[in-house]
C-alpha cells in the first residue's frame, strides 16, 4: 500500500511531531495516523498519506503488541516518568515466582482506571487538559474514568535479580514485559495494576509498540530515512 507508511517513532516527540516532520520531506500536506503514541514512547505508527488517510479507520481498532519497562518503587501523577512522584518505596523484595504469577494474572478482561493524563475525553474535554488545569490551581484529578481493557498475552522478558537469586534487587527494580492487547488498552494502567497486585507502587519507565495487527516494527522506517 503506497499510501500507507509504517514509521518507527523516536522518543521525545509527539505523534503530531512525526507528521509535522514528514510533511516537508514527502512534499504532502495531507497526512494522518491510526493511533497516537505518548512522547516518551517509541515504536510503530501507521500513517496515511494523501488518499491513504481514508484507510486509517481500518487500522485503529487492531490489536497491538508492546514491550514495556515497569519501574517498581515509584508511582507518578501521569503513570509514567513525565509526572511528579506520588509515592516512593526504597526497599523492594519480590520473588521471581510472585512476579511471574502477577504478570500472568493480568491476562483477561480487566476494568481499570485510565491515567488522568490520557487523551480520553470526559465531558467533552481531554483528560490531560483537565489534569493540567487542576495542577495550576494546586489540585489533582481524582474522578478518572474506568475502562475495559483486554490483555491476550503478558510475558515476562527480563528482571533484575540480586546475587543470591532468591529475590529481586533491593531498590530500583525494573521488569520488562511484553503485552499483546486489544485496542484501547493503556499500558500505563497495566503497569500500575501490576504494582498493586504485588503491593508496591509502580510506574511505566519506557514503552515501545512493536506490532499493530499484521504490521510489524521491523518493517517500519525512521523519519530521517526519508
Count Cβ atoms within 10 A of the Cβ of residue 113 and give its class: 0-12 exposed, 13-18 middle, 19 or more buried.
Answer: middle
What is the domain partition of the chain in residue ranges?
Answer: 4-60+217-225, 64-119+146-211
**Measured distance CA(23)–CA(218) in Å, rounded:** 23
pLDDT of 135 reads 66
Q: 104 Cβ partners below 8 Å, 6+ apart?
A: 154
Query: Mean of the pLDDT values across residues 2-13?
Result: 93
Q: Per residue in 95-143, pLDDT tens?
A: 889 999 999 999 999 999 887 666 666 666 666 666 666 666 666 656 6
pTM of the model: 0.88
Cell numbers that stand for 224 in this block? 530521517
List the one residue out of 92, 94, 74, 93 whose CA is nearest residue 84: 74
H or E segment and range at residue 190? helix 187-197
Asked if 6 and 28 count as a contact pair (C-beta separation under 8 A), the reply is: no
CATH C-level class of 64-119+146-211: alpha beta
Q: Per residue in 14-40, pLDDT tens?
A: 999 999 999 999 999 999 999 889 888
Q: Residue 96 has what DSSP assignment?
A: H
pLDDT of 217 reads 98
Q: Per residue in 145-179, pLDDT tens?
A: 789 999 999 999 988 654 444 444 445 789 999 99
Please say if 17 is a catalytic residue: no
pLDDT of 163 reads 40
H or E segment and range at residue 17? helix 15-26
Asked if 116 and 144 count as a contact pair (C-beta separation under 8 A), the reply is: yes
Say which of 38, 80, 123, 219 is annotated catalytic.
Answer: 38
End-to-end Cα distance, the chain: 17
Q: Per residue in 56-92, pLDDT tens?
A: 999 999 999 999 999 999 999 888 888 888 898 878 8
pLDDT of 119 reads 65
Amino acid at each position: 500500500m503506497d499510501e500507507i507508511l509504517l514509521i518507527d517513532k523516536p522518543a521525545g516527540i509527539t505523534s503530531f511531531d512525526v507528521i509535522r516532520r514528514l510533511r516537508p520531506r514527502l512534499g504532502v500536506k495531507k497526512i494522518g495516523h491510526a493511533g497516537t503514541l505518548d512522547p516518551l514512547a517509541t515504536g510503530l505508527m501507521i500513517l496515511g498519506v494523501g488518499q491513504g488517510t481514508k484507510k486509517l479507520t481500518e487500522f485503529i481498532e487492531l490489536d497491538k503488541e508492546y514491550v514495556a519497562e515497569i519501574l517498581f518503587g515509584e508511582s507518578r501523577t501521569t503513570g509514567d516518568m513525565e509526572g511528579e512522584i506520588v509515592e516512593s518505596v526504597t526497599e523492594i523484595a519480590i520473588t521471581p515466582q510472585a512476579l511471574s504469577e502477577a504478570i500472568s494474572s493480568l491476562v483477561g478482561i480487566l476494568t481499570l482506571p485510565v491515567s488522568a493524563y490520557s487523551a480520553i475525553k470526559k465531558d467533552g474535554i481531554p483528560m490531560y487538559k483537565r489534569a493540567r488545569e487542576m495542577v495550576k490551581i494546586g489540585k489533582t484529578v481524582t474522578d478518572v474514568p474506568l475502562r475495559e481493557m483486554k490483555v491476550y498475552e503478558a510475558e515476562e522478558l527480563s528482571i533484575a535479580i540480586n546475587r543470591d537469586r532468591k529475590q529481586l534487587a533491593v531498590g530500583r527494580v525494573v521488569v520488562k514485559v511484553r503485552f499483546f492487547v486489544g485496542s484501547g488498552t493503556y499500558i500505563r494502567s497495566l503497569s500500575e495494576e501490576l504494582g498493586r497486585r504485588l503491593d508496591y507502587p509502580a510506574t511505566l519507565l519506557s514503552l515501545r509498540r512493536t506490532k499493530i495487527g499484521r504490521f510489524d516494527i521491523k518493517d517500519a522506517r525512521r523519519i530521517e530515512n526519508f
